[in-house]
Amino acid sequence: MLIVQSQCIRNREYDSYTTNEIDAQWIKNSYNRSLKQLIEKYIKNKCSPSKEANENQDPSIRLEKMKIKMEKIKIKKKLTKIRKTKKKIKIKIKKVLVLFPLNMVVSAVNSG
């Protein structure tokens, strides 16, 4: 509706009422086609439920999906923990290198 109104205003500026009617009819037809397609798609999906909808009805499949989801969460937590540990190790190495420059460490190892 807003598109039709905005085109009416634009066309009034040019004093062409016939194009206004043609534009309005074209917009109305395309809107009706889109609406019809959406309704058909909805009816098709509603009458023949998707595979995913059928899977959600089966309790064993739902349980399996939940187990997989929990495993993914556990893996993410482990990865996060590993990353944090890795950062801590890098920070400790940097601190050691600042306190003991590399040439001192090498000379201590060689003399040791």
Span 12-25, average pLDDT: 54
Tell me the C-alpha to C-alpha distance, in Å, between residue 57 and each of 50, 53, 66, 69: 11, 7, 14, 18
Is 20 a member of any domain? Answer: no
Pull the structure tokens for residue 6: 């905005």
Span 61-66, average pLDDT: 84
Query: What three-state secondary structure class fits 16?
Result: coil
What is the widest separation between alpha-carbon atoms in the chain?
99
Mean pLDDT of the chain: 69
What does the pLDDT read at residue 37? 78
The confidence band for 5, taking pLDDT boundaries of 50, 70 and 90, is very low
Span 44-72, average pLDDT: 73
Q: Is the pLDDT of residue 77 over 60?
A: yes
Number of domains into which the chain is organized: 1
What does the pLDDT read at residue 71? 92
Q: What amino acid is encoded at 58 in this protein? A: D
Is 9 a member of any domain? Answer: no
Q: Are 17 and 11 in contact (CB under 8 A)?
A: yes
Is 15 a member of any domain? Answer: no
Pull the structure tokens for residue 38: 């959406």
Is 12 a member of any domain? Answer: no
Is 11 a member of any domain? Answer: no
Is 50 a member of any domain? Answer: yes
Q: Output the pTM of the full model.
A: 0.35
Is 5 a member of any domain? Answer: no
What is the domain extent for residue 48?
27-110
Q: Is the pLDDT of residue 102 over 80?
A: no
